[in-house]
């Protein structure tokens, strides 16, 4: 079930939210939490094979058991041993399902083995829930959180808004919200904000991402025939597509969770305005950046002993290459990660030497680099990536006729796109203007029953916004192009 | 007591708020539907927008609105479906009269059979030789159709008339339409605003809900519409005689106007081949004419096509037996009798030889006003 499908936005999410709030009102929070856990497993099973649901359940059970054993030990040695068991278990689990074919495909020819390479089906969301599990294990080892019950842990790991494509969360911070009480006005603001995020995410996905996807798809499909202009158009189109696609997804995830009264971390903060690559990673896929910093980079630097520029550079390069590989079993992803690693090292050196570029120059260099790295990320192989980069940066090299813009312009702005942008964009602008007023408004006074009334304007705006979402997905339709990050 | 009153007041307040939000939600949907229609089709945002607005009532019966358009359907300056008509000397005009089958309901724009027929004829002869005028209109009855044919003949000097009778028009007929005067009832000045999103929801439900559910819903509505009246098991012989009289009248009128008539049998999706969804299709057909039982439609088609064949032979007209060629091939029909693009192409291909035959007769001067045409 896609996040931009009618079945999710009109049936699944409203039904889950309505029943959840009804249960919270009528029964204890744990009853509502049970409902969310069931809904999460139902959501996962609708998009995954039954075996993959079993794998998710097994991962939850194993990680929870290991964390529990770890927490019950007071001695550092067994704690560390259990942490290693947990970490290696997760790495092997991820490796078996994600990298077996990649690894054996490289090893077999070297060993002259002619046996067929086994291709295991890729469990939905494995990359994301494995990282969430690793975060929980490390946090438990460092005693950053209290051990969770299996019920809380499974509710936090399998929570449907992020189980398939993130954001990558700290389980404990989510689990505490399942039974936390919300004030009525807090609930109302969260609900309103959730719908707003849902609509803006949908706008990003079905209008902007899918719009640029056509152009990027056409460009990367006809790579050998691209001209200098075409190569730039295709690369910029993909850079915009991946941002709107992934941040649209994240918005829908954040919005869906907010509708259920749960706050999950933000994933994007205008990454393309960054003036340096380190700033870019503070704004792009922020939950992954947090993971890289706290769970990869820092332990690596510590393992080298003394933190110097050199050890920091090595740790950065390693961490980014690992994150590149985390995206998928392909050399393009490894090179993408390594490129970012090198750029971050250069950034560290520049910072150390106090070289500061004017912000516009920094922005230009950053966006050019990010765009080029995404060419490698998107290209089918390294040779195609090299060709595309050559076309972009060697303007007088051999290139094609350059008719991509002309060929695709008709498909670029269709009536559907116009209808979707108006239907979702206009109410969003309206809500945005209202939101600015709410932000500064003092909380409403509590009523005699100790609850606050739902403010009129947000509720009306919610109804209007949701009507446009329903209309868009029901009648105008989405383009049925899946989200990019669900493949990771 | 006070607490109970407060609690009740709060409930009433919640109810009102819920209704208010539901109203905003519904209005939001309606505005979105109107905005989409405006962007996509140029539909007026503040007025009703229905298929019926392609047509208007005149003293000559229903007519297409000049330059009328609704969704993908666009009428020309004569209120006819298709491009602008321009007849130059030497061109041969062919008028296609009929109901919704000729007008084109399910075909893509430009793929309704009169348009395909024009392209096929010109491909077979010379570019621009034939001009096919689509005088079909949903629900068109022969007396109204003939009045339109007279006007078109006078204006464009068309030489060939294709007659495609619509048997369901005769389900309850007691006498020929040709003998009836055209009634004119001026439309009411006020029309209630109609919800556009409701129509879209209905269409969506039709597409999404299982066919069995839709069939059940239609059956219930049919029962409700029929009420205490006894449904017809079969159409009376008197009704089919009225149909035969109308075909004779149309043939006679065509000849009086100096045109060669081509009479076409009425193909349908049922024929002698049974399909799994026949029952659902028959219920859907009956939904438009609740008084006739489902089995009566297949019987009506069989008998009406026999009447068409016999009358054509008796009148010495050119007969195109589309029923024999097309009926039963469900892929040619989008519903019970309206064509798919493929069906329209087949219908056009069947008509081409007949039109060329008729054209040959006009060239050899074998047709004159008030004289029956001879088959070569």
pLDDT at site B139: 87
Indicate the pairing of strand B318-320 with strand B260-264.
parallel
Q: Which of these three, A395, A411, A427, is where a domain ends? A: A411
What's the mean pLDDT in A14-19? 94
pLDDT of residue B271: 82
Asked whether the beta carbons of residue B28 and residue A460 sit closer than 8 angstroms, the reply is no
Q: Is the same domain home to A241 and A390?
A: yes
pLDDT of amino acid A239 = 94
Q: Which residues of B touch A455 (CB under 8 A)?
A: none
Residues A45 and A39 sit within 8 Å (Cβ to Cβ)? no
| Residues in contact with A431: Cβ distance below 8 Å, sequence separation at least 6, in sequence order | A196, A199, A461, A464, A465
User: Which pLDDT tens digit goes with each residue over A40-69?
Assistant: 999 999 988 888 999 999 999 999 999 999
Residues A18 and A154 in one domain: yes
Domain boundary among A165, A181, A197: A181
The answer to whether the Cβ–Cβ distance between B26 and A418 falls below 8 Å is: no
What is the C-alpha to C-alpha distance for residues A148 and B144, in angstroms, rounded to an integer?
80
The pLDDT, as a whole number, for residue A452 is 34
> Is 50 exceeded by the pLDDT of residue A336?
yes
Whether residue B145 is predicted with pLDDT greater than 60 in this model: the reply is yes
Residue B375: predicted pLDDT? 35
Structure tokens belonging to residue B365: 């001067």
Question: A25 with A111, same domain?
Answer: yes
Residue positions counted in chain B: 376
Residue A219 placed within a domain: yes
**Is residue A85 domain-shared with residue A153, that is, in the same domain?**
yes
Spot the catalytic one: A2, A20, A52, A327: A327
Are residues B40 and A460, on separate chains, in Cβ contact within 8 Å?
no
C-alpha distances in Å from residue A337, one per residue of A175, A319, A324, B191, B232: 32, 8, 4, 65, 76
Q: How far apart are the first and last CA of chain B?
A: 98
Tokens of residue A221, six digits: 């499909």
Name every residue whose Cβ is closer than 8 Å to that of residue B279 and which is 6 or more positions away in sequence.
B215, B294
Chain A nearest-CA distance from B36, in A, is 6
What is the average per-residue pLDDT within A235-243? 92
pLDDT category at B57 given cuts 50, 70, 90 is: confident
Phi-psi region of A15 (alpha: psi -120 to 50; beta: other; left: phi over 0): alpha
Token reading at B291:
């008084």
A93 within a domain of the structure (yes/no): yes
CA atoms of A152 and A157, how far apart (whole Å): 9
Q: In the predicted model, what is the mean pLDDT of residues B292-319? A: 93
CA distance A471 to chain B (A): 6
Residue B367 is predicted with a pLDDT of: 46
A427 with B28: Cβ contact below 8 A: yes
Is beta strand B73-74 parallel, antiparallel or unpaired with respect to B61-64? Answer: unpaired
Cβ pair A463:B28 closer than 8 A:
yes
Cβ–Cβ below 8 Å for B197 and A470: no
Nearest Cα residue to B234 out of B170, B307, B297, B308: B297
pLDDT given for residue B364 in this prediction = 73
A window 439-478, beta carbon within 8 A of B = 448-449, 454, 459-460, 462-468, 470-472, 474-476
pLDDT at res. A4: 83
Does position A115 have pLDDT exceeding 80, yes or no? Answer: no
DSSP bridge pairs for B75: B81
At residue B372, the pLDDT reads: 39
Work out the pLDDT band at B374, boundaries 50, 70, 90. very low
Q: Is the pLDDT of residue B370 over 60?
A: no
In degrees, to the nearest 5, what angle opens at C-alpha B60 toward C-alphas B57 and B62?
Answer: 35
- Regarding whether A241 and A103 lie in a shared domain, the answer is no
Instruction: Look at residue A402 in the predicted model and tell me its pLDDT.
Output: 58
CB contact under 8 A, A422 and B35: yes
Verify that A148 and A269 share a domain, yes or no.
no
**Mean per-residue pLDDT of chain A:** 84
B172: which 2 tokens?
């309850």
pLDDT tens for A69-85 read 998 888 888 899 999 99
Answer whether residue A287 is part of any domain.
no
Do A150 and A224 fall within a single domain?
A: no
- Checking if the pLDDT of A409 tops 80, the result is no
Q: Greater confidence, B188 or B120?
A: B120
Q: What is the pLDDT of residues B105-118, one digit of tens each?
A: 999 999 999 999 99
> What is the pLDDT at residue B365?
63
Burial track A292-313 (b if 16+ CB lie within 10 A, e otherwise): bebbbbeebbeeeeeeeeebbb
Which among A162, A181, A200 is the end of a domain? A181
A241-273 per-position pLDDT tens digit: 999 999 999 999 999 999 998 989 889 988 999
Whole-number percent of chain A with pLDDT over 90: 34
Q: Give the pLDDT confidence score for residue A447 in this predicted structure.
A: 38
pLDDT at B371: 39
C-alpha–C-alpha distance, residues A429 and A323, integer Å: 36
Whether residue A430 is contained in a domain is answered as: no
| In the predicted structure, residue B151 carries a pLDDT above the cut 70 | yes
CA distance B139 to B101: 10
Measure CB to CB from residue A471 to each of B6, B21, B33 and give the nearest one.
B33
Does residue A458 surpass a pLDDT of 80?
A: no
pLDDT tops 60 at residue B59: yes
Counting the structural domains of chain A, the total is 2
User: Does any CB of chain B come closer than 8 Å to the CB of residue A415?
Assistant: yes
Please give the share of chain B, as a percent, with pLDDT higher than 90.
60
Asked whether residue A99 is assigned to any structural domain, the reply reads yes
Cα angle for residues B99, B105, B111 (degrees, 5° grid)? 105
- Minimal-distance CA residue of chain B relative to A457: B21
In a domain, A288, yes or no: no
> How close A184 gets to chain B, by Cα (Å)?
14
Q: What's the pLDDT at A412?
A: 65
Residue A292 lies in a domain: no
Q: According to the model, what pLDDT value does residue A408 have? A: 64
Decide: B272 and B324 in contact? Cβ < 8 Å.
no
Q: Is the dihedral of CA A64, A69, A73, A76 positive or negative?
A: negative
In this predicted structure, what is the pLDDT of residue A411? Answer: 62
Interface predicted TM-score (ipTM) over 0.85: no
Mean pLDDT over A157-163 rounds to: 94
Q: Is the pLDDT of residue A24 over 60?
A: yes
Question: pLDDT-based confidence at B13, cuts 50/70/90?
Answer: confident
Check CB contact under 8 Å for B39 and A419.
yes
Q: Which residue of A has its CA nearest to B208?
A: A474
Q: List the single residue in A415, A464, A474 with the smallest CB-CB distance to B40.
A: A415
**Do residues B369 and B258 lie in contact, with contact meaning Cβ atoms separated by under 8 Å?**
yes
The answer to whether residue B340 scores a pLDDT higher than 90 is: yes
Residue A189 has pLDDT above 80, yes or no: no
Report the distance separating Cα A452 and Cα A184, nearest Å. Answer: 5
Cα–Cα distances (Å) from A38 to A20, A154, A265, B372, in that order, read: 11, 10, 22, 79
More confidently predicted of B209 and B83? B83
Average pLDDT over residues A283-299: 90
Per-residue model confidence as pLDDT tens digits over A124-149:
889 899 999 999 999 999 888 888 99
Pair A152, A199 in one domain: no
CA distance B69 to chain A (A): 18
Interstrand relation of B92-97 and B130-134 (parallel, antiparallel or unpaired): parallel
Residues A160 and A220 in one domain: no
Are residue A243 and residue A219 in the same domain, yes or no?
yes
3-state secondary structure chain B: CHHHHHHHHHHHHHHHHHHHHHHHHHHHHHHHHHHHHHHHHCCCCCCCCCHHHHEEEECCEEEECCCCEECCEEECCCCCECCCCCCCCCCEEEEEECCHHHHCCCCCCCCCHHHHHHHHHHHHCCCCCEEEEECCCCCCCHHHHHHHHHHHHHHHCCCEEEECCCHHHHCCCCCCHHHCCCCCCCCCCCCCCCCHHHHHHHHHHHHHCCHHHHHHHHHHHHHHHHCCCCCECCCCHHHHHHHHHHHHHHHHHHHHCCCEEEEECCCCCCCCCCCCCHHHHHHHHHHHCCCECHHHHHHHHHHHHHHHHHHHHHHCCEEECHHHHHCCCHHHECCCCCECHHHHHHHHHHHHHHHHHHHHHHHCCCCCCCCCCCCC
A400-408 average pLDDT score: 60
Asked if residue A259 is part of any domain, the answer here is: yes
- At B77 the pLDDT is 93
A122 and A265 share a domain? no
Residue B21 is nearest to which of A448, A463, A472, comparing CB atoms? A463
Structure tokens at A331: 């050399």
Closest listed residue to residue B250, CA positions, set B322, B150, B376: B150
Mean pLDDT, range A397-419, rounded to an integer? 64
Domain housing A174: 6-181
A327 annotated active-site: yes
- pLDDT of residue A152 exceeding 60, the answer is yes
| A259 and A161 within one domain | no
Mean pLDDT to the nearest integer, A313-340:
90
What is the band of A455 on the pLDDT scale with cuts at 50, 70, 90?
very low
């Amino acid at each position: 079930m896609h996040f931009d499908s009618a079945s999710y936005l009109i049936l699944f999410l409203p039904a889950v939210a309505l029943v959840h709030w009804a249960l919270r009102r009528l029964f204890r929070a744990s009853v509502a939490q049970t409902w969310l856990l069931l809904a999460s497993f139902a959501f996962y099973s609708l998009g995954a094979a039954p075996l993959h649901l079993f794998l998710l359940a097994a991962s939850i059970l194993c990680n929870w058991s290991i964390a529990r054993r770890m927490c019950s030990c007071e001695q550092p040695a067994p704690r560390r041993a259990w942490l290693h068991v947990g970490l290696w278990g997760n790495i092997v689990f991820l490796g078996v399902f994600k990298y077996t074919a990649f690894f054996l495909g490289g090893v077999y020819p070297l060993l002259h083995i002619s046996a067929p390479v086994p291709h295991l089906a890729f469990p939905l969301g494995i990359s994301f829930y494995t990282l969430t599990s690793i975060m929980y294990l490390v946090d438990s080892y460092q005693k950053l959180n209290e051990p969770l019950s299996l019920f809380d842990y499974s509710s936090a790991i399998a929570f449907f808004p992020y189980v398939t494509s993130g954001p990558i969360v700290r389980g404990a911070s989510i689990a505490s919200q399942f039974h936390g009480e919300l004030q009525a006005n807090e609930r109302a603001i969260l609900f309103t904000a959730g719908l707003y995020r849902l609509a803006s995410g949908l706008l990003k996905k079905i209008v902007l991402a899918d719009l640029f996807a056509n152009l990027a798809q056409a460009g990367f499909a006809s790579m050998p025939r691209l001209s200098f202009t075409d190569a730039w158009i295709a690369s910029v189109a993909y850079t915009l597509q991946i941002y709107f696609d992934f941040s649209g997804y994240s918005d829908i995830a954040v919005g869906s969770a907010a509708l259920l009264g749960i706050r999950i971390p933000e994933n994007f903060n205008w990454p393309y305005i960054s003036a340096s690559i380190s700033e870019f990673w503070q704004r792009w896929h922020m939950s992954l950046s947090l993971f890289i910093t706290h769970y990869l980079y820092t332990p690596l630097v510590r393992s080298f002993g003394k933190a110097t520029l050199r050890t920091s550079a090595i740790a950065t390069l390693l961490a980014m290459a690992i994150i590149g590989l985390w995206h998928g079993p392909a050399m393009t992803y490894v090179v993408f990660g390594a490129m970012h690693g090198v750029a971050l090292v250069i950034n560290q050196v520049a910072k150390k030497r106090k070289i500061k570029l004017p912000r516009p120059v920094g922005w230009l260099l950053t966006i050019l680099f990010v765009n080029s790295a995404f060419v490698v990320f998107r290209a089918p192989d390294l040779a195609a990536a090299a060709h595309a980069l050559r076309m972009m940066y060697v303007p007088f090299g051999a290139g094609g006729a350059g008719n991509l813009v002309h060929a695709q312009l008709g498909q670029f702005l269709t009536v559907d796109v116009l209808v979707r942008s108006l239907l979702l964009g206009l109410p969003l602008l309206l809500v945005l203007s209202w939101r600015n007023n709410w932000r500064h408004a003092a909380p409403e006074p509590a009523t005699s029953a100790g609850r606050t009334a739902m403010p009129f304007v947000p509720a009306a705006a919610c109804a209007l916004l949701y009507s446009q979402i329903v209309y868009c997905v029901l009648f105008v339709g989405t383009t049925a192009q899946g989200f990019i990050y669900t493949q990771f | 007591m006070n607490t109970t009153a407060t609690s009740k007041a709060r409930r009433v307040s919640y109810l009102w708020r819920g209704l208010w939000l539901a109203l905003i939600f519904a209005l939001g949907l309606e505005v979105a539907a109107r905005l989409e229609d405006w962007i996509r089709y140029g539909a007026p945002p503040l007025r009703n927008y229905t298929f019926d607005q392609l047509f208007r009532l005149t003293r000559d019966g229903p007519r297409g609105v000049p330059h009328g358009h609704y969704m993908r359907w666009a009428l020309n300056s004569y209120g006819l479906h298709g491009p602008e008509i321009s007849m130059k000397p030497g061109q041969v005009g062919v008028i296609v009269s009929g109901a919704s089958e000729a007008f084109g309901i399910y075909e893509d724009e430009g793929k309704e059979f009169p348009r395909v027929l024009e392209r096929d004829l010109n491909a077979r002869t010379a570019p621009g030789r034939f001009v096919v005028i689509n005088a079909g209109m949903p629900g068109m009855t022969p007396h109204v159709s003939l009045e339109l044919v007279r006007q078109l003949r006078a204006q464009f000097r068309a030489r060939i008339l294709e007659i495609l009778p619509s048997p369901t028009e005769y389900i309850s007929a007691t006498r020929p339409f040709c003998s009836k005067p055209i009634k004119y009832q001026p439309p009411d000045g006020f029309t209630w605003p109609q919800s556009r999103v409701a129509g879209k929801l209905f269409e969506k439900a039709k597409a999404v809900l299982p066919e069995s559910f839709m069939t059940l819903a239609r059956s219930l509505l049919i029962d409700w519409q029929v009420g205490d009246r006894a449904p017809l098991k079969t159409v009376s012989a008197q009704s089919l005689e009225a149909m035969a009289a109308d075909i004779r009248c149309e043939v006679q009128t065509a000849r009086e106007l100096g045109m060669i008539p081509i009479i076409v049998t009425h193909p349908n999706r049922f024929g002698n081949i049974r399909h799994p969804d026949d029952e659902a299709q028959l219920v859907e057909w009956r939904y438009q004419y609740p008084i006739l039982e489902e089995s009566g439609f297949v019987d009506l088609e069989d008998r009406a096509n026999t009447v068409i064949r016999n009358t054509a032979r008796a009148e010495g007209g050119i007969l195109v037996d589309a029923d024999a060629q097309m009926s039963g091939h469900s892929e040619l029909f989008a519903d019970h009798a309206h064509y798919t693009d493929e069906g329209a192409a087949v219908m056009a291909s069947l008509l081409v030889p007949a039109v060329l035959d008729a054209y040959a007769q006009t060239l050899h001067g074998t047709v004159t006003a008030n004289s029956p045409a001879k088959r070569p």
